[in-house]
Structure 1
Amino acid sequence: MKNLIINTFSNIKIKTTLLLLASCLILLSSCGEKKTEEADHEEEKSENEVALTAVQFKTVGIETGSLESRNLNLVIKANGYTTVPPQNMANISTLIGGTVKDILVLEGTFVNKGKVLATIQNLEVVEMQEDYNSAVANIEYLQLEYNRQKTLSDEDVNPKKVLQEVKAKLAVERARAKASKSKLQALNMNTSGSSLVPIVSPISGYVGKISIAKGAFAETGVTLFEVVDNTQMHLDLDVYEKDLGSISVGQTIDFILTNQGNKSIKGKIFGINKSFSNDSKTVAVHAKINPADSKDLISGMYVSANISIKNSTVPALPKEAVVKNGDKYFVYIQEDHEEKDTAKKTEADEHKEGEAHSEEEGHNEVHFKAIEVIPGTTDLGYTEVKFVEAIPADAKIVVKGSFYLLSAMKGGGEHEE
């Protein structure tokens, strides 16, 4: 009986021990899972957070602000080129071939309308001058003869046939003189003098490419000089079919050229083509440029322009406040960690605070969190933003230094403790 009681007691003790071990294992497992979840949460949280020391914060010059309401232009982006109207560009050639005698200008120089650019020598012009002068001399003689024959004919002394013959000869010589004079005028030459034919600029502008050399033979129909007048510079922009419904004459455009210190240049649409330009299904849109802004532009420069469609008041931040990370856009807000930092202080830290105040000041951290946004139109240095998740109304948004924070978050700007 005694042995039975002892065996029963031993079995109960073993079972109790096993139950206690099982409970401990379950508790340890639960704690492990909780710690894993907390670690994962902290890791996920750290991916969108970055901390700077107070020294870094001041050195980088990070500035914070708040969301603003801005009147921004909704725009359509279009690419194109600077160009000048056909009447403001001249490809100059000669109507008569000849040997280049002199070249009187250099590429890049400004010339006025009528300026002699070069001279070529051709002996045929001497014959034209001789024809003209001979015709003029015959006209003088025939005019006198016509007057005499008319007087005799009126008195019935001579037959009218003689008068008619003199009149016909006079008309022929007048026609010959007129033709010779027209040829000489077309060559910008006088009716007497030199055999040198001047090559004259038909417009005022800047001399472009010079395609002749002294002593070479200048052929007819071949461009010798290019002269461009940039005062009427305009843009030819390629606009896609889907945007045509929003484009109209009178809309303003603006574009930036790096060679003018990123100065914004304004223009206005004055014409829209009624046919597609090429296989890309784009239509040419023409815009005038203010003459004061076009003086340093060159025909053929590539531009990327914004066509203003309408104005609207939208929430916006300075353009540099928005940064791109991967395929998403973010802004940073400053977080308040003062309470957490105070709770973490130990008595030893408080004891050392008075002894090493400057060192502690250097290690105090300023915390920032990345907030995803959807950017909209950009105008006048501001970008429209829409927050994926709501933020506090009094949030301190970083408006300067976002790129540094992005680098620090990725590991490029982390500080050493």
Structure 2
Amino acid sequence: MKNHALVYITFASILFFGSCSSQSDIPEEEAEPLQEGTYVLTANQFKSSNMELGIFEMASFHQVVKAIGKFDVPPENNAAVSSYFSGTIKDIRLLPGEKVKKGQKLFTLENPDFVQIQQDYLEAKGQLTYLKSDYERQKNLAQDNVTSQKNYLKAESDYIVTNVKAESLAKKLQLMNIDPNSLSLENIRSTIQINSPIEGYVTQVHAMRGKFLNPSETAISIVDTDHMHLELNVFEKDLSKIQKGQPIVFKIQEDDSKEYEAFVYLVNKVVDPENRTIGIHGHLSDEKITERFNPGMYVEAEIYATTATKISLPQDALVDIDGEFYVLVLKHFSKNEYTFMKRKVKTRLSNEGNVEILNHQEFSEGAQFLVKGAFNIITD
């Protein structure tokens, strides 16, 4: 986001000894002030102090909005695994952090009531064949006026009621992960298997073997980290600066030396009445790095609200004296010395490496500045 274009001038072969020093009677290690705000350096001083020259450069400056928050996943990527039916946990072998696949067996529930549901379904299914045959027979007889309407309606009612009962029991069996089509007298069982609804990682295990699990009581929590995102908060006063698509640079508490990139995906429309903050939903620029993070990780972020390109100088070129900024501009140089003039500059925006110079037009085109070492000279 920065566009450095420093111009460096080195004089590796221009070194003066003896005569240069005796001419001014000033040691080589010190700059010589000729008049107020003017400084002369020898070529040897310039080189030995690793000083550098540079010119005005165009740099990007951002209006930054500070934000804090955490990593999170979409609601559909969180699963609280429970059962529609109560029962005693017979078998469970899971630990937090373990990865599970969608449809994988998590634990087994046991309850005698499961047997009764399967029995009721098989009985209803067995009656349907006879009731359907009787219903069709009574229907034909009623059409020929051979039987009474009452017998026909009763046969119809018995068939419909039993059919509804069988269908509802089949739905229950499906919720129990039992296939009604393959259920028979030989494979009735007292246990049901609870499977994982998503692929992800086990975050919490609330159950244990022998525990009685009530309906809808959470036994296991699972999270899918494939679509990790940022949930940030900014103060209400900064809301007008935030727009969808703006860049986000963030750091994690575990390693604040490394920066990562994201962008604003959604801006909440409701203000938190207690903290007066707005929620910002951010997506990572590189989804491949999500494996480095975990849901709940604390995040410190900066949202680049606006970006502007301005004429600037490197930060090291400016010296702060009582709240005012000065630079050293090169006025003259020969093969053995540099002459600098101290000049005041007006500044506004700044980033990590550059400062905007407002009065850049007061300097000549191509002006060169001491961008490394100015502080030691001016404050000496």
Give your verdict on TM over 0.5.
yes
Secondary structure of the 1:396 match is: strand
Establish whether residue 141 from structure 1 lines up as the match of residue 127 from structure 2: no
1:67, CA displacement in angstroms? 5.2
SS of residue matched to 2:145: coil
Q: Where do 5+ consecutive residues of structure 2 fail to align? A: 1-32, 37-43
Query: Residues 21-36 of structure 1 correspond to what in structure 2 (within 5 A)?
Result: none
TM-score normalised to structure 2 length = 0.69
Q: Is the 8 A contact 1:256 1:265 kept in 2?
A: no
Query: Would the aligned equivalents of 1:329 and 1:374 in 2 still touch at CA under 8 Å?
Result: no
State the number of aligned residues.
324
Could you list the per-position Cα deviations for residues 203-253 of structure 1 after superposition, in whole angstroms to 9, with x for gaps in the alignment? 222221111122322233322111212222222221222211121223232
User: Contact 2:268 / 2:278 at 8 angstroms: preserved in 1?
Assistant: yes
Distance 1:397 1:170, change over 3 A: same
Structure 1: distance between partners of 2:256 and 2:219:
31
Contact 1:104/1:116 (<8 A) preserved: no
Contact 1:375/1:383 (CA < 8 Å) preserved in 2? no
Among 368, 371, 378, the residue aligned to 1:394: 368
1:160 aligns with 2:156: no
- Return the alpha-carbon distance in structure 2 between the equivalents of residues 99 and 63 of structure 1: 77
Whether the aligned pair in 2 keeps the contact of 1:231 and 1:294 (CA below 8 Å) is yes
Question: Partner of 1:122 in structure 2?
Answer: 111
Residue 87 of structure 1 aligns with which residue? 76
Q: SS at 1:232's partner residue?
A: coil
The SS at the match of 1:305 is: strand
Distance (Å, rounded) in 2 between the aligned partners of 1:383 and 1:199: 60
Match of 2:89 in 1: 100
**Contact 1:74–1:377 (CA under 8 A) maintained in structure 2:** no
Residue 298 of structure 2 corresponds to 302
Residue number in structure 2 paired with 1:202: 197
- The 1-side partners of 2:105 and 2:324 are apart by 60
Structure-1 separation of matches of 2:53 and 2:208: 65
- CA distance in 2 between partners of 1:386 and 1:315 (Å): 6
| Mean CA deviation greater in 62-71 or 87-96 | 62-71
Picking from 213, 221, 224, the partner of 1:226 is: 221
**Structure 1 counterpart of 2:251, one-letter code:** I
**Preserved contact between residue 232 and residue 289 of structure 1 (Cα < 8 Å):** no
Task: Decide whether aligned partners of structure 1 residues 126 and 377 sit closer, same or farther in structure 2, where only a CA change above 3 A counts.
Answer: farther
Q: Confirm or deny: 8 A CA contact 2:249 2:259 kept in the other structure.
A: no
Counterpart of 1:274 (choices 265, 269, 283) is: 269
- Tell me by how many angstroms 1:153 deviates: 2.7
1:126 CA drift (Å) = 1.1
> Is the Cα contact below 8 Å between 1:333 and 1:398 reproduced in 2?
no
User: Hey, what does 1:351 align to over in structure 2?
Assistant: none
Mapped contact 1:187–1:198 kept (Cα < 8 A): yes
| Cα distance in 2, alignment partners of residues 386 and 145 from structure 1 | 97
Structure holding more helix per residue = 1
| Cα shift at 1:70 | 0.9
CA contact (8 A) 1:329 1:375 kept: no
CA distance in 2, matches of 1:213, 1:204: 22
- Asked if the contact 1:101/1:120 (under 8 Å) is kept, the reply is yes
Change (3 A) 1:277 1:145: same
- Where structure 1 has 5 or more consecutive residues not aligned to the other structure, the ranges are 1-41, 46-53, 343-368, 410-417
TM-score normalised by length of structure 1: 0.64
Aligned position for 1:174:
163
In structure 2, C-alpha distance between the alignment counterparts of 1:179 and 1:207, rounded to whole Å: 33
Q: Distance in 1 between matches of 2:66 and 2:319?
A: 20
Which residue of 2 is the match for residue 243 of structure 1? Answer: 238
Deviations 1:69-125 (A, max 9, x none): 212333222122221221221111122222222224432233332222211212211
Q: Are 1:382 and 2:353 matched, yes or no?
A: yes
Change (3 A) 1:331 1:102: farther
**Among candidates 260, 263, 278, match of residue 264 of structure 1:** 260
Residue 200 to residue 394, structure 1, CA distance change in 2 (3 Å)? same
Structure-2 change in CA distance of 1:76 and 1:260 (3 Å): closer
Paired residue secondary structure (1:168): helix
CA deviations on 1:244-268 (whole Å, 9 max, x unpaired) are 112122323222335597142222x
Q: Sequence identity of aligned pairs in percent?
A: 29
1:224/1:216 CA distance change after superposition, 3 Å: same
Gap change, CA 1:332 and 1:190, over 3 Å in 2? farther
**Higher Cα Rg: structure 1 or 2?**
1
Residues 331 and 171 of structure 1: CA distance in aligned 2, closer, same or farther (over 3 Å): farther
Distance in 1 between residues matched to 2:224 and 2:319, nearest whole Å: 43
What is the CA-CA distance between 1:306 and the residue it aligns to? 1.8
Inter-CA distance 334–388: structure 2 relative to 1 (3 Å threshold): closer
Q: Is the 8 A contact 1:95 1:221 kept in 2?
A: yes
Contact kept in structure 2, 1:100 and 1:213, CA below 8 Å: yes
Q: Give a deviation string over 1:287-328, Cα, whole Å, max 9, x none.
A: 222422323322222212222222212345667x49999x97
* Counterpart secondary structure, 1:169: helix
What secondary structure does 1:230 align onto?
coil
Q: Secondary structure at the match of 2:96?
A: coil
Cα shift at 1:128 = 0.8
Aligned position for 1:285: 280
Match of 1:214 in 2: 209
CA distance in 2, matches of 1:62, 1:221: 72
* Equivalent in the alignment of 1:29: none
Alignment-derived partner of residue 314 in structure 1: 310
Give distance in 2, aligned partners of 1:211 and 1:106: 10
